[in-house]
Chain A
Amino acid sequence: MTTARRLLAALRTPLGVLALLACGTLLFLTLFAPAIWGERAAVTDTTQISQPPSDEHLFGTDGSGRDILLRTLAATQLSVSMALMATVAGVLSGVLVGLLPLILGGRAGRWIVAGINIGVAFPGLLLAIAFSVILGQSGTAATLAIAIAMLPNYGRLTHNLAASVWGRDYISAARVLGVPTWQIVLRHVLPNVRDPLLVNAAITAGGALVSFAGLSFLGLGIQVPQYDWGRMLNEGVSRIFVTPAAALVPGIAIILAGLTFVLLGEILGKALTPDTHRSLSSRVLRRLRAQTAENETEPAGVPAPFAEDSVLAVRNLRVCAPHGRDDVRTLVDGVSFDVARGEIVGVVGESGSGKSLTLMSMAGLLDPSLHVSADAARFDGEDLTLRAGGHPASLDHHFGKRMAMVFQDPMSSLNPALHVGSQVAEAGLLHLGMNRREAREAAIERLEAVRIPDAERRYGQYPHEYSGGMRQRAMIAAGLMGKPSLILADEPTTALDVTVQAEILTLLRRINEEDGTAIMFVSHDIAVVTSLCTRVLVMYRGRLVEDISSEDLRAGRAAHAYTRALMDTVPTMTTPRGEPMASIPDEADFSGGGDGCAAGRAAGVEVVRGDADAAMRGDAERLDGDVERTSDPLVQEEKR
């Protein structure tokens, strides 16, 4: 969704309507209030001093007989405009100072960062008061003082954001091209850090309003005969027991105006950050359920009987993602498979083919916005409740005992703040009823089993003290705490070096041989899959196009054109060197190729194929309605 569309969506919520109304009112008062009520607000009436609320004066009058409400309204202009000016000055100078270290680099840059850090150490309001005293008692001085007080925070925020962008490859590419640094900063850094800065600026403006009123209240800001809300508060507070409204009304105005800026920040934040979670609308859900029910009544929909010895069996698995407001796109379309006890099954396919989604739906680990259904699913003799409410039901009670999971990135699948050993032992504590000592002993034993050297000492180390391969071994060790009958592995070697990959593959093979554990191994690398697995499932655009033994695959007996094309693209140590390498072109389409076993396309819901990997990442931006945004070339081709 584009920023504009997100903004509209955010404004349609009750909070959005409220923000719009509040901002509109504040803007109107700021621009026109003095012109409309200014003169009447300035009228002093010595016969009406400190009057209580009456028909003539809604909130009464102050110590000089002036109408409190009119004065409060008229004071909006000064209060808000000064706060906005302070915010603009503070944010701009903060951004400038925050970017300078990148432009200057080297020692000068480090000094500026040090200066910012010292500035951040002082409380903002204290800085504002100090500078206000130094600069003199006037509105301009108070504005400047608040801007100066804001500078360190903004400098720090900008610097942090910019430094993270600075590490991206497109910045490196521009530097290697010799683009001048200031151009890189203006062209590449600033636009990419803009959004969080804007959201923060809106919220900061609320803070500036309160600070400014505070300074005026202390007698440092606006001076008589001018008045803002802080000044009014100052004059009213001494008589608060006589005419409470004189202090309360400007006080309430400050609170309301401050809240308006916070609301604005909230709406900006919603408009500028891509939403990550969207669920299917109830209409679409109903349609999907009806369709599933219809499938069940059809004779063709009767699931094939499960094999006796299968540890995992699934019939007609479908995963759908929301697409626009009223449509879904099918990411996994009618996939059926069995994993026999003690078997190693590989799943291959390109990114976006739905292979990881298939695995993750078995584990109940899909994004909640996705809709999962299956005619039947069975794990270890037990029915899986995939269909409960149309959402994946968790398999929690299997994890740690009968099912284990290994993820791609061993760094992010272990908690960096906890000892590796205690994370391995956790399964024993949670699921196996062990006490702390037993769990520890079992964990050390499992760490030894996956060949972690010096396991007893390594138990107490943190993930960063492990190498990538060792972290992956530790993850496997954690899965082995129970006696799993199935290990689900999602690209477990993709992030590893080839030599380490070979070790992990050997380890998985050994676990399979010694304990008879079945493994479902997802990878984009068909060479890795065939070297490890006995059987290979090939997925293409959400469908299972081939279910073939590794032996047949290696012997070139693949039936589906896509499988053969995929095999041809794998470079090996015997591929001829002089010739162009094989690849699958952008416009290739294998949908009709071969005698694939994918189930028929379901009717009723408009089906659009999507990028399953984007769905995995919860990447709503790319799952969204706009076809052109999908990065999968095959997807784009199909839609053109």
Chain B
Amino acid sequence: MNPQLSFESVSVIYGHGAAAFTAVDSVDLRLEPGEILGLVGESGSGKSTLARAAVGLTEPSSGRILLGDTEISRARGPVARERRRVQMVFQDPQSCFDPRRTIGQSLDEALVAAHRREGTSVPSPRARRDEISGLLDSVALPAEYAQRMPAQLSGGQRQRIAVARAIAARPSVILADEITSALDVSVQGSVLNLLRDLQQELGFSVLFISHNLAVVRIVSDRVAVMRAGRLVEVGETLDVMENPQHDYTRELISAVPSL
């Protein structure tokens, strides 16, 4: 059973004194094992900052982030290793892979890191190559793609491989930060279907950050709405969509263009 990820009155404040800016303002949020929780809000509402705090790219100014019973915020040493069970997929397919390394090298890095974390001995290069083929296969790409450079792939393919890299770390939680907003609508579905299938198969939970309510409605079990660093509404997806409690949520829903 995968542990839950919980944010306990987490605040992130950038800067000091008069210039201080509260990006995340005492957010309490629980991501249940195996669920997909949509997190929506406008740019600057603090949704990415919240995710970055969970993986240690930003340190919370106050509050705690826990994976199961282990506090992973401000973690050092062996506890920081526990934090690696929370993985992140980033927005920009242009910059999510090192332009000078092949896809195989990038995936290999993730595999080696996963083995180190679990304390198992790192398998031979040959065994890792098989694992990389398996990873590519799980995101519906042929094994030859391991030899390609990121610039040779389309944005959609790169985002699928970014999901594979996150999977390679055998995560309990994946934070998906606007993973399709830089893609064409026509390939968005392939990335999201894949994420959902893998989630069903492997049982990790997903914090699905997006500004596109229509997509969040399709993908998520529950939805949380953030505005100006605060959590304004959390609930079952259909409840929130059909019966929004907060004015801002209503505004967001009405702004979705319809066909």
Contacts and interface: CB of A to CB of B under 8 A. Distances in A.
B214 A565 contact: no
A311 to B, nearest CB: 25
Interface in A135-193: 168-170, 172-179, 187-188, 191-192
A435 interface: no
B42 interface: yes
A499 to B, nearest CB: 5
Contacts of B117: 178
Interface string A610-640: 0000000000011000001101110010000
Interface in A556-611: 565-567, 569-573, 575, 577, 580-586
A580 B101 CA distance: 33
B84 A177 contact: yes
Contact of A170 (B98, B151, B251, B257): B98
Contact of A177 (B169, B190, B212): B169
Interface string B216-259: 01100000000000000000010001000000000111111111
Interface string B57-82: 10000000000000000000000110
A528 interface: yes
A520 to B, nearest CB: 18
B173 to A, nearest CB: 11
Interface string B72-106: 00000000110110111011100111111100001
B259 A526 contact: yes
A524 B184 contact: yes
B214 A572 contact: yes
A582 B189 contact: yes
Interface centre among A175, A177, A581, A622 (most CB of B within 10 A): A177
Contacts of A179: 109, 113
Nearest to B175: A176
Q: For chain B, what secondary structure do more than half of its interface residues adopt (helix, strand, loop), or is it mixed?
A: helix
A560 to B, nearest CB: 14
Contacts of A93: none
A174 B169 CA distance: 11
Interface in B182-201: 184-190, 192-193, 196
A193 B256 CA distance: 42
Interface residues on B, range: 35 or more
Nearest to B97: A170
Interface string A194-210: 00000000000000000
Contact of A169 (B95, B114, B169, B258): B95
Given A169-B92, A572-B259, A633 B186 contact: no
B207 interface: no
B74 to A, nearest CB: 13
B189 A187 contact: no
Contacts of B259: 526-527, 530-531, 554, 567, 570, 572
A570 B43 contact: no
Nearest to B113: A177
Nearest to A499: B255
B34 interface: no
Contacts of B169: 177
Contact of B96 (A173, A177, A505): A173
B42 to A, nearest CB: 4
B251 A176 contact: no
A581 B43 contact: no
Interface centre among A351, A583, A586 (most CB of B within 10 A): A583
Contact of B153 (A573, A581, A631): A631
Interface residues on A, range: 35 or more
Contacts of B154: 586, 631-633, 636
Nearest to B177: A169
Contact of B217 (A169, A567, A573): A573
A103 to B, nearest CB: 16
Contacts of B98: 170, 187-188, 191-192
B251 to A, nearest CB: 6
B203 interface: no
Contacts of B81: 178
Interface in B138-170: 148, 151-157, 162, 165, 169
Contacts of B192: 581
A172 B87 CA distance: 11
B99 A192 contact: yes
B206 interface: no
Contacts of B114: 177
A552 interface: no
B185 A569 contact: yes
Contact of B189 (A501, A569, A572): A569
Interface string A335-372: 00000000000000011000000000000000000000
Interface centre among A192, A501, A528, A572 (most CB of B within 10 A): A572
Contacts of A187: 98, 101, 109
Contacts of B196: 580
Contact of B42 (A497, A575, A585): A497
Nearest to A189: B98
Given A173-B165, A176-B56, A192-B99, A583 B113 contact: no
Given A172-B57, A178-B80, A583-B193, A571 B95 contact: no
Interface of B: 42-43, 55-57, 80-81, 83-84, 86-88, 90-92, 95-101, 106, 109-110, 113-114, 116-117, 148, 151-157, 162, 165, 169, 184-190, 192-193, 196, 211-215, 217-218, 237, 241, 251-259
Q: Which 4 residue pairs spanning A and B have beta carbons closest together?
A: A583-B189, A581-B189, A169-B90, A497-B42
12 contacts: A175-B56, A179-B113, A187-B109, A497-B211, A499-B42, A501-B255, A565-B186, A571-B189, A572-B214, A573-B241, A575-B218, A582-B189
Interface of A: 168-170, 172-179, 187-188, 191-192, 350-351, 468, 497-502, 505, 524-528, 530-531, 554, 565-567, 569-573, 575, 577, 580-586, 621-622, 628-629, 631-633, 636
Given A192-B98, A192-B99, A501-B255, 13 more contacts: A169-B91, A172-B90, A175-B56, A178-B117, A188-B101, A468-B43, A497-B42, A527-B258, A569-B188, A581-B193, A584-B186, A584-B187, A633-B156
